[in-house]
Chains A and B, each alone.
Chain A
Amino acid sequence: MPIDVIIKVLFIILVCVAAFAPVITWVERKQSAVMQDRIGANRANIGGLTILGLFHPVADVLKLIGKEDFVPDGANRFLHALAPILAAIPAIIAFAVIPYGATYQFPGFEPTTLVGADLDWGLLYIFAIGSLATYGSVLAGWASNNNWSMLGSLRASAQMISYEVTMGLSVVGVFMVFQTLKLTDMAVAQDATFRLFGFLETFGVVQNLPGWLSWLQVPFWGVFVQPLGFVMFLTCIMAENKRPPFDLPEGESEIVAGYLVEYSGMRFGLFYMSEFIEVVVIAALLATVFFGGWSIPYLSKDSIIGGLTPMMGATLATALCMIAHVATFLLKVVILIWLQMQIRWTLPRFRYDQVMDLCWKIILPLSLVNIFVTGALILLVQGAK
């Protein structure tokens, strides 16, 4: 296996899964504490050193490993053990197609793209992998031989299947605008700007835009060309992840912890971690599809490398650009994780029928309208050119 593939896989595993996910558990506790005017996790320490409670994820994992690994009587032992693994694997392998940097041409080397697998159908791969995530929660409920678990997993599977449909439909507009399903191409397409009022010229409303209107430029990001698509996709993908306000598969007063009732120790930990890994996947996917991925707004890749090359040579300029792009991508991921945390701690929980109504009666028709309007606009713009 070539060395660069190993480095890319290591980067994905170490940064996205091993570094982000545990830290998010701490971020969630701290952010909820800040929002509720508490101090939050700050007790775990090594020799009195607490560093803002950052040792808590370590303490949590040690605690989970030390707990009894309980399997209830009458449970299907094989499926009971398999379910947490089936929940965690899709979350981890979804990273394979997410680009965290552009294609870089170092002098004297082959061009390399910073992505695990550069698939033509990258976005479809994520949907396919996401649809397999349902099995983890479905089997967990059935294999536990517990009625609460069973009800929880029925709720989870109904919710996930419903939102898969609308999640797919809500991003069709993005496919249409960027004319691709390849996530790397999508990020490249977003490394540009467009004139906010350029459409006036395209449709012949005015002959030449006045200077200041022409200067008003916006990054060609998914969120600016498909704002409705972004809101719907964010809603659907958060519902897929089953975290509050969509945490209907759990319900303290109705079905206790849903399909997690009979899970303890590290098996529960795996379910818990896969939810947090999914938060990172969601942030990375949203960053790539709607926020330009690695691209720095108003500074395209070519202009960065072109501007720096006379000063420091092509190799150093490309390397600096690469570092800046990866840092930009990680910054966008961090901001989008924060957004998800903010939503999770702001909104109250939905009722189950409200969740289903939101999916089938509001988002589904809206996404169809969005596809129709996007298609009509694309045809109009192509006709005007």
Chain B
Amino acid sequence: MSFAAAVFYVLALLAVVSALGMVLNVRNTIAGAMSLVVTMIALAGIYVVLDAHLVAVLQIMVYAGAILVLFLFVVMLLNLRSDEFSPSRSRLVKLAGVALGVWALGSFLALLPGALPKVVEIPADFGSYRQVGLSLYRTYDVAFEVTSFILLAAIVGAVVLAKRRLS
């Protein structure tokens, strides 16, 4: 097993375990949010192994560094303590959840052998910020601009909602 493969398996294990930690930490929301941070950092590590360096940095900057801090912020503001969560969820919901999980895992395993792409040689500057920038502004420029409009709409919406509560 090569060094890169070993790093990948360690990070993948960390990502899965911390993702499970996020889902299973129902009582302790802060622990759940922190598990998600670990998941994001492990994913960034996997991106580095895959030579997608810019995506890895953005993963840490945007998800681990900004969005999840905001999650934590909100969770802390609500200051939910463990006793505020009722332990009893209806048995039907739990059963449905298990069934859905089994179905998703089964279809994933069924699709897996055919879906794995062949290993290809990647160009030397693959994943560099130059390459990502060029494809963003040349190949996908329309999609890029449309995305910025969607974000603008979200910002305006947030401002409108905040103003309404003020007045």
B-binding residues in A (CB < 8 A): 76, 79, 119-121, 124-125, 127-132, 134-135, 138-139, 141-142, 150, 153-154, 157-158, 160-161, 164, 181
User: B60 contacts which chain A residues (CB < 8 A)?
Assistant: 128-129, 131-132
User: B76 near A: Cβ within 8 Å?
Assistant: yes
Are the C-beta atoms of B57 and A138 separated by less than 8 Å?
no
From B64, B69, B128, residue with most partner A Cβ within 10 Å: B69
In the assembled complex, the Cα of A231 lies from the Cα of B57 at a distance in Å of 25
Question: Considering only CB atoms and an 8 Å cut-off, how many residues of chain B contact the other chain?
Answer: 21
CB of A258, distance to nearest CB on chain B (Å): 14
Tell me, in angstroms, the Cα distance from A161 to B61 when the chains sit together.
11
A325 to B58 CA separation, bound complex (whole angstroms): 33
Q: Majority SS of interface residues in chain B?
A: helix
How far in angstroms is the closest Cβ of chain B from A80?
A: 12
Closest chain-A Cβ to B44's Cβ sits at a distance in Å of: 8
Is the pair B73, A164 in contact by a Cβ cutoff of 8 Å?
no
- Nearest 3 A-B pairs (CB), nearest first? A131-B65, A128-B60, A124-B57
CB neighbours of A79 from chain B (8 A): 30, 34
Is A127 a contact partner of B76 (Cβ separation < 8 A)?
Answer: no
> Would B61 and A157 count as touching, CB distance under 8 A?
no
Q: A128 with B76: in contact, given A121-B53, A135-B37 (CB under 8 Å)? A: no
Given contacts A79-B30, A128-B65, A164-B66, contact A138 B129 (CB under 8 A): no
Q: Which residue of A lies closest to B64 (CB)?
A: A132
Say which residue of B37, B57, B69, B79 sits within 8 Å of A157 (CB atoms): B69
Q: In whole angstroms, what is the CA distance A124 to B65 when docked?
A: 12
- Chain B residues contacting A120 (CB-CB under 8 Å) are 53, 128-129
Q: Which residue of A lies closest to B60 (CB)?
A: A128
Q: Is the CB of B77 within 8 A of A154?
A: yes
